[in-house]
Amino acid sequence: MSSKILIIGACGQIGTELTTKLREIHGVDNVVASDINTRNLDLVNAGPFVILDAKNFNAIKDCCINNNIDTIYLMAALLSATGEKYPMEAWDLNMNSLFHVLNLAKGGQIKKVFWPSSIAVFGPTTPKENTPQHTICEPTTVYGITKQVGERWCEYYHNKYGVDVRSIRYPGIISHKAMPGGGTTDYAVEIYHEAIKEGKYESFLSKNTNLPMMFMDDAIKATTTIMAAPSEKINIRSSYNLSAISFTPQEIAESIKAEMPNFKISYKPDFRQAIADSWPSSIDDSEARNDWNWSHDFNLRNMTSEMLIQLKKKYKY
Ligand code: SER
């Protein structure tokens, strides 16, 4: 029997594309999309959709009962930059939504949970290059703290209550459909939009800030692959390191210039620079590669080509 899935936070950057992919795999009617509002009308009209507040346990529970849900993807979160502006809101949303879902799974109603963690669990004391799976995690952002604590709770609920929760530490995700909101890695999406619209971009990170990144297709592939893997292959129940590419603002600008020679970049670092400086430059994800055969497909060059092709269509250039 196909699973009946609920996606919480389906209108966000990842949720939008995850919903489409899961509907391809499981059938449109088996994937209920939900979000706090109807900001993405294409998604709202594409299949079953409910307005759902991720902080409301009873609302999530009722939605699961009414729709016979057995699997939840919890994609709602306040990201790193927004979290620094609204620390208590970030804590409230990121932690309570996770507890609600884990507690539903503990009750047996939900059989499988996906919850994303992030490179933000790492901090300035973490080894920066090829960051290992098990290492010092002393995050300095509220977002990072919520993800680190969330990882501990996921592992706890798995060990103590047998909850089948699976998680990956996403790097910065680059995509052309829904915009990211409030992250430190958002520059790597904005730069493509501005390249097409204005021919130039002012980066809020300095030119040599090297961060782990990934094209959306790879992020979706990782998410569906870990969720399809047999339970006994998932040896890490906190969250898996996940890696594809690393680059700096200067390097992404060079890759755009290779296709748009007149593109210009300038740099004006703001408060997000300190967040970026606290994160690793590259990630060792060998456990994900060994345990559930993770591999990425996109490098910087073919990601740039694809982003520019898609955004030219979007903006009709
Ligand atoms: N992309 C996220 C952020 O920048 C990291 O998980 O906040």
Do 295 and 196 belong to one domain? yes
Do 185 and 295 belong to one domain? yes
Domains identified in the chain, total number: 2
Q: How far is the centre of ligand 1, averaged over its atoms, from the C-alpha of 243 (Å)?
A: 14
| Residue nearest ligand 1's atom 6 by CA | 118
Do 231 and 192 belong to one domain? no
Q: How far is CA 276 from CA 58, 139, 205, 269, in A?
A: 37, 11, 8, 10
Name the pTM for this structure. 0.97
Pairing of strands 264-267, 200-203: parallel
Can you read off the two tokens belonging to residue 174?
Answer: 């680059």
Do 281 and 310 belong to one domain? yes
Ligand 1, atom nearest to 182 Cα: 7
Over residues 81-101, the pLDDT tens digits come to 999 999 999 999 999 999 999
Ligand 1, atom nearest to 180 Cα: 1
Q: How far is the centre of ligand 1, averaged over its atoms, from the C-alpha of 281 (Å)?
A: 13
Ligand 1, atom nearest to 143 Cα: 7
Do 228 and 301 belong to one domain? no
Choice from 167, 168, 179, 185 to test ligand 1 binding pocket (greatest atom count within 8 A of CB):
185
Do 251 and 109 belong to one domain? no
State the CATH number of the domain containing residue 153. Answer: 3.40.50.720
State the CATH number of the domain containing residue 274. Answer: 3.90.25.10
Do 275 and 155 belong to one domain? no
pLDDT at residue 1, as a whole number: 56
Do 79 and 117 belong to one domain? yes
Do 65 and 117 belong to one domain? yes
Do 180 and 209 belong to one domain? yes
Do 107 and 185 belong to one domain? no
Q: The domain containing residue 306 runs over which residues?
A: 173-213+245-314
Give dist(CA 166, CA 238) in Å, integer.
8
Q: How far is the centre of ligand 1, averaged over its atoms, from the C-alpha of 78 (Å)?
A: 9
CB 124 within 8 A of CB 140: yes
Can you read off the two tokens belonging to residue 2?
Answer: 């196909």
Do 131 and 195 belong to one domain? no
Q: Considering only CA atoms, which of 192, 229, 185, 182 is closest in space to residue 211?
A: 185
Q: How far is the centre of ligand 1, averaged over its atoms, from the C-alpha of 32 (Å)?
A: 25
Ligand 1, atom nearest to 80 Cα: 7
Choice from 13, 78, 80 to test ligand 1 binding pocket (greatest atom count within 8 A of CB):
80
Show which residues are catalytic: 143
- The overall longest dimension of the chain from CA atoms, in Å, is 58
What residues flank ligand 1, with Cβ below 6 Å? 79-80, 118-120, 143, 170, 172, 183-185
Residues of the chain under the 70 pLDDT cut:
1-2
Give dist(CA 90, CA 150) in Å, integer.
13
